[in-house]
């Protein structure tokens, strides 16, 4: 089993899906437990992977390779390195916890858990795939379950949100498909193997194409491909102006799906840029990402925070805070400094855990009060003290309070960015004030103040809900004190990645 640990992690949930499909549809609790059992082995294997990952190596580890469609040089090629390991861990953890967060689903239980497990496989596959074709397949496999999970089990405007999510992401991914094909034909011999495509990165032309409008912009083949890939990934991040699907999808999706969406799916955008754009198209990255990506990230920070401040719906607030936090990832990535890029990937992991907590917490209160209106509560701290305590940890972590994980990654990002873009760093740092502003204001309105008589008898958070929240809370605290638990995994690969791009920066 240890020989192909990644395959097991990827395909175990799908095996679980098959079992779930064979179960009778009215055995609800059996289906739930089978699903939990299907996501447990990936989590255990993730822990094993964490223990056995070689922190000194910058290369790929746990590699598996087999021909799939030899005629077109398509392989089944998976593995992890520092860029993906943290995401693999995060996916395994959140998938397992979200099964428990979905316990309350009572409509179409069988379909829900079957789709959830398929989604799990798709997510894991994206992070481990090293063949471009395989990557694309996994990338698209996630779309369908997500569409149905939002569309069937979502809130009142679920249909609109689901199709909007679907159309946006499909548009991005077909652009990516064209880029994949272009790279395939540019490589010699034609290949989808990412490592080979990276090795041949010098071959992709950078001189301006004789095609309007690229001749006017001085864009070469590399730049066009870079932009096609970037738009595909930017939609997923979601970077301004492609972010509008996110608040809708988040608000309408059931709690567990919001967690997955914010915790894992958004990371695929930045992960894709790091995994593909940076090493495969380094010259174009240097030309296009420098400043542009940093500025876009800063804009995301400020814009997301301002939008969050204006929200009346608690879940929408958290959704916009994701837009804001993903801005730090982009800013850090664009700095091309060791601190910035390590901070960016750490921020991806931290945002996954923190926002996961936030969405779970919103779910807890929504299950009880059946609304999420920020102004409709008040004094919850007196009614639900434990719940409020956990919320405080998550909110303060999101705010970037020292001692909690969000602080470390944001500081690293700003440290890295300061070396390249002083103004952007100042703006990005002041975003922290905005974030603190809306979060504190929310705490004040929802948890403090006079008790709202209507909710006097709300039950305290229960054991199952605590079970989903506490592990994340512990990770948030540990990483706030000892960030090297994750940083050690990333460093060597990310430094090497940085070295690929830096020579091209003029």
Q: Which residues bind other proteins (CB under 8 A)?
A: 68-71, 136-137, 140-141, 143-144, 147-148, 151-152, 158-159, 162-163, 166-167, 170-171, 174-175, 177-178, 181-182, 184-185, 211
Closest distance between other proteins and the C-beta of residue 146, in Å?
Answer: 12
Report the sign of the C-alpha dihedral through residues 23, 158, 257, 360, in that order. negative
Instruction: Using only the alpha carbons of the chain, give its radius of gyration.
Output: 22
User: Three-class SS of residue 28?
Assistant: helix
Closest distance between other proteins and the C-beta of residue 131, in Å?
Answer: 13
Closest distance between other proteins and the C-beta of residue 152, in Å?
Answer: 6
Closest distance between other proteins and the C-beta of residue 268, in Å?
Answer: 16
Q: DSSP character for 264?
A: I
Candidates 298, 232, 238, 200; CA nearest to 500 is 200
Question: Among residues 208 and 448, whose Cβ is nearest to other proteins?
Answer: 208
Question: Among residues 24 and 450, whose Cβ is nearest to other proteins?
Answer: 24
What are the angstrom distances between the C-alpha of 338 and each of 346, 420, 489?
12, 12, 14
Can you tell me which residue has the tokens 């990934």?
A: 233
Closest distance between other proteins and the C-beta of residue 151, in Å?
Answer: 5
Question: Among residues 168 and 290, whose Cβ is nearest to other proteins?
Answer: 168
Question: Among residues 224 and 476, whose Cβ is nearest to other proteins?
Answer: 224
Alpha carbon distance 297, 277 (integer Å):
16
Structure token digits, residue 315: 């879940």
Closest distance between other proteins and the C-beta of residue 69, in Å?
Answer: 5
CB count within 10 Å of CB 227 equals 20
Helix, strand, coil percentages (3-state) for the chain, rounded to 5, are 75, 5, 20
Question: Among residues 8 and 171, whose Cβ is nearest to other proteins?
Answer: 171
Alpha carbon distance 189, 73 (integer Å):
9
Question: Among residues 129 and 286, whose Cβ is nearest to other proteins?
Answer: 129
Question: Among residues 234 and 331, whose Cβ is nearest to other proteins?
Answer: 234
Question: Among residues 70 and 463, whose Cβ is nearest to other proteins?
Answer: 70
Question: Among residues 190 and 464, whose Cβ is nearest to other proteins?
Answer: 190
391 and 445 in contact (C-beta within 8 Å)? Answer: no
440 and 356 in contact (C-beta within 8 Å)? Answer: no
114 and 17 in contact (C-beta within 8 Å)? Answer: yes
Closest distance between other proteins and the C-beta of residue 172, in Å?
Answer: 10
142 and 123 in contact (C-beta within 8 Å)? Answer: yes
Closest distance between other proteins and the C-beta of residue 59, in Å?
Answer: 29
Closest distance between other proteins and the C-beta of residue 140, in Å?
Answer: 5
Burial readout 75-92 (b: 16 or more C-beta within 10 A, e: otherwise) = bbbbbbbbbbbbbbbbbb
User: Three-class SS of residue 129?
Assistant: strand
Closest distance between other proteins and the C-beta of residue 251, in Å?
Answer: 17
Please list, in sequence order, all residues whose beta carbon lies within 8 angstroms of the beta carbon of residue 223, skipping any fewer than 6 positions away.
Answer: 206, 214, 217, 284, 287, 288
Q: At what angle do helices 5-22 and 82-101 cross, to 10 degrees?
A: 20
Q: Where are the alpha helices (DSSP H) in 187-313?
A: 194-199, 214-217, 221-236, 245-252, 255-260, 266-272, 278-280, 282-288, 292-309
Question: Among residues 214 and 240, whose Cβ is nearest to other proteins?
Answer: 214
Closest distance between other proteins and the C-beta of residue 182, in Å?
Answer: 6
Question: Among residues 116 and 290, whose Cβ is nearest to other proteins?
Answer: 116
Question: Among residues 103 and 133, whose Cβ is nearest to other proteins?
Answer: 133
Closest distance between other proteins and the C-beta of residue 176, in Å?
Answer: 10
Structure token digits, residue 167: 């159309």
Q: At what angle do helices 314-334 and 405-418 cross, to 10 degrees?
A: 40
Candidates 21, 145, 10; CA nearest to 78 is 10
């Amino acid at each position: 089993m240890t020989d192909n640990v990644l395959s097991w992690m990827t395909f175990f949930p799908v095996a679980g899906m098959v079992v779930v499909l064979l179960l009778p549809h009215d055995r609800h609790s059996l289906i739930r437990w089978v699903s939990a059992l299907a996501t447990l082995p990936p989590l255990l294997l993730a822990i094993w992977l964490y223990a056995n990952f070689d922190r000194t190596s910058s290369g790929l580890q746990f590699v598996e390779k087999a021909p799939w469609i030899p005629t077109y040089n398509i392989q089944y090629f998976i593995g992890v390195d520092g860029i993906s390991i943290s995401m693999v861990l995060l996916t395994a953890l959140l998938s397992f916890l979200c099964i428990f967060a979905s316990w309350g689903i009572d409509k179409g239980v069988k379909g829900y858990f079957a789709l959830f497990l398929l989604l799990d496989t798709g997510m894991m596959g994206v992070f481990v795939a090293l063949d471009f074709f395989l990557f694309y397949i996994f990338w698209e496999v996630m779309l369908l379950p997500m569409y149905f999970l939002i569309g069937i089990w979502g809130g009142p405007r679920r249909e609109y949100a689901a199709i909007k999510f679907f159309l946006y992401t499909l548009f991005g991914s077909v652009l990516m498909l064209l880029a994949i094909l272009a790279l395939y034909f540019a490589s010699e011999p034609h290949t989808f193997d990412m490592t080979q495509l990276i090795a041949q990165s010098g071959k992709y032309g950078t001189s301006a194409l004789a095609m309007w409008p690229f001749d006017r912009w001085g864009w070469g083949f590399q730049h066009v491909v870079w932009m096609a890939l970037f738009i595909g990934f930017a939609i997923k991040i979601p970077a301004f102006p492609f972010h509008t699907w996110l608040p809708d999808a988040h608000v309408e999706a059931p709690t567990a799906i919001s967690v997955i969406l914010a915790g894992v799916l958004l990371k695929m955008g930045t992960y894709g840029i790091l995994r593909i754009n940076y090493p495969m198209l380094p010259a174009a990255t240097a030309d296009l990402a420098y400043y542009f990506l940093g500025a876009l990230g800063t804009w995301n920070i400020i814009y997301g925070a301002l939008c969050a401040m204006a929200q009346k719906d608690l879940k929408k607030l958290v959704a916009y805070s994701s837009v804001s936090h993903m801005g730090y990832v982009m800013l850090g990535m664009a700095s091309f400094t060791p601190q910035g890029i390590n901070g960016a990937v750490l921020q991806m992991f931290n945002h996954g855990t923190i926002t996961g907590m936030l969405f779970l917490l919103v779910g807890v209160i929504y299950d009880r009060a059946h609304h999420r209106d920020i102004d409709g509560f008040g004094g919850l701290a007196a009614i639900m003290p434990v719940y409020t305590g956990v919320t405080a940890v998550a909110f303060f972590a999101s705010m970037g309070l020292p001692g909690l994980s969000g602080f470390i990654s944001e500081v690293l990002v700003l440290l890295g960015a300061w070396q390249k873009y002083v103004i952007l760093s100042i703006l990005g740092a002041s975003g922290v004030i905005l974030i603190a502003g809306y979060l504190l204001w929310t705490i004040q309105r929802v948890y403090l103040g006079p008790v709202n008589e209507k909710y006097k008898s709300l039950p305290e958070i229960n054991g199952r809900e605590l079970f989903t929240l506490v592990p994340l809370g512990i990770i948030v605290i540990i990483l706030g004190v000892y960030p090297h638990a994750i940083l050690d995994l990333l460093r060597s690969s990310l430094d090497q990645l940085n070295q690929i791009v830096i020579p091209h920066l003029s």
